[in-house]
Structure 1
Amino acid sequence: MAEPIPLRRPSLHEEVATRLRNMIFERQLLPGQWVDELALARDWQISRTPLREALKVLAAEGLVVPVPRQGSKVAEIPEDEADELLPVMALLEGRCAFEAVRKARDADIRRLQRLHEQLEKHAAAHDIEAYYRANHEFHSAVQALAGNRWLDRATGDLRRFVRLLRGRQLHWPGRIEASINEHRVLLDAIVQRDAARAERVMHDHLLAQLAALKALRQHERAQGAPHAG
């Protein structure tokens, strides 16, 4: 039997999808912006085939919206959908915190403490972008510690849409100070291995994000400023 011919770079479109996903999460591609396939193919020195396959992956994830005969646009989260998304995320992340506390080893808690130290550093500097990234890492670590594949799947799917908001609520005056305070209470519950309290604190932390986001949007409307999500 003849030796099979190996496929060349079978995961190229997955690599492209990862790069596009990161561009969206880092706001290099903004909500509502058209994806310039020609420019990206040229810059990345690839054909448009893996790029289009990657866009199909992101469309299935809800991160881009295909428009017939025009291309793909980065998805936007309308205000009413954000208002519905964050309470659901609060339930899921609360459960993540509950299960994480029950399963965490001492080394896991020490890692969360190190991540929290980064949050403290960025909050003190009022570095919103760095705080946002560290916050995402902390929440993702709690999710991973929960060790529940069904919870992980549901939370991970929705976290992609939360990331489209890019922590806009942190721009509301006083929010970053309130957020780090909430994280201090959460970390204390984790260190004390109080799963029920960790669940409540995490849940309320997400709802506080929503309250800040609503306040920011109301202020922007009052000022006549444009907003996204």
Structure 2
Amino acid sequence: MSTSSTLSPRALYEEVAELLRQRIFSHELPPGSWIDESSIAQEFGISRTPLREAIKVLAAEGLVTMKVRRGAYVTEVTVEDLQQVYRLMGLLEADAAAWVAANASDQLLSELRGLHEQLGRLTLDRKAFFMVNEQFHMRILEATHNKWLFQMVQDLRRVMKLSRHNSLLKSGRIADSLAEHEVIMAAFAARDAEAARQAMQAHFTQGLEAAT
């Protein structure tokens, strides 16, 4: 059965973009590798038109780089790129954390506490830890109801996933990350916006040091 037979009703190019996105994040398509349009179109059972539209989507997200008359390749992330991404994410997520501390309902804080406690039970399962960790951070952003903030951080996180040097891979980093989350949660519980801002900023500063 071809891949195209399982595609959802949404636009074909969007589904193709998601399939390629997952291959990029898993490094099945590693940084620097060229995207073989002919081979992928044949594998998916589609024409090159939706594939090229999908590539444009990924280029807009920074996941692939397009070269005139040469095609597209998976973006390579440098140490400088990581530094810039982490610093921007630190600023944006610190602002979101301050908003949550000042405005969150008890129900939201309970939800975040639940995610934090779930992380504490996943320290030996890195893949699951990564997934729940992202849920924790994105839930904070989602709570602000600021779609621009959410989209910007989502795009930055996609670029961060291109790197093989994820901060959580460093020995001891998961335990440190949990401790930093606990400081953030304490600031939320105290309804201290400035403490939450500083704690989230420190979390990303430490993450950058571990990633580079």
The 2-side partners of 1:105 and 1:166 are apart by 37
The 1-side partners of 2:13 and 2:67 are apart by 20
- Count of residues in Structure 1 that have an aligned counterpart in Structure 2: 204
Q: Please state how far the C-alpha of 1:13 moved relative to its aligned partner.
A: 0.8
Q: Please state how far the C-alpha of 1:23 moved relative to its aligned partner.
A: 2.5
Q: Provide structure 1 residue ranges, at least 5 long, that are not aligned to the other structure.
A: 1-8, 215-229
Q: Please state how far the C-alpha of 1:91 moved relative to its aligned partner.
A: 0.8
Q: Provide structure 2 residue ranges, at least 5 long, that are not aligned to the other structure.
A: 1-8
SS in structure 2 of the partner of residue 208 of structure 1 = helix
Aligned pair partner of 1:201 in 199, 202, 207: 199
RMSD between superposed Cα atoms in Å: 2.0
* Greater Cα offset, 195-204 or 109-118: 109-118
Larger Rg: 1
Write the letter of the residue equivalent to 1:56: K
Check whether the contact 1:14–1:54 (CA below 8 A) recurs between aligned residues: yes
Task: Show CA shifts across 1:162-205 (max 9, x none).
Answer: 23236622222211111111112212222332222111111100
1:30-49 alignment, distance < 5 Å:
30-49=30-49
The 2-side partners of 1:202 and 1:49 are apart by 43
Relative distance call for 1:203 and 1:109 in structure 2 (3 A) is same
SS in structure 1 of the partner of residue 65 of structure 2 = strand
The corresponding residue for 1:87 is 87
SS in structure 1 of the partner of residue 210 of structure 2 = helix
Q: Please state how far the C-alpha of 1:38 moved relative to its aligned partner.
A: 2.8
Relative distance call for 1:114 and 1:27 in structure 2 (3 A) is farther
Write the letter of the residue equivalent to 2:53: E
TM-score, scaled relative to structure 2: 0.86
Q: Please state how far the C-alpha of 1:149 moved relative to its aligned partner.
A: 2.9
Aligned pair partner of 2:132 in 121, 134, 137: 134
TM-score, scaled relative to structure 1: 0.80
The corresponding residue for 2:185 is 187
Task: Show CA shifts across 1:100-156 (max 9, x none).
Answer: 233322222222122112211122x2x222222221111111110122233223323
SS in structure 2 of the partner of residue 164 of structure 1 = coil
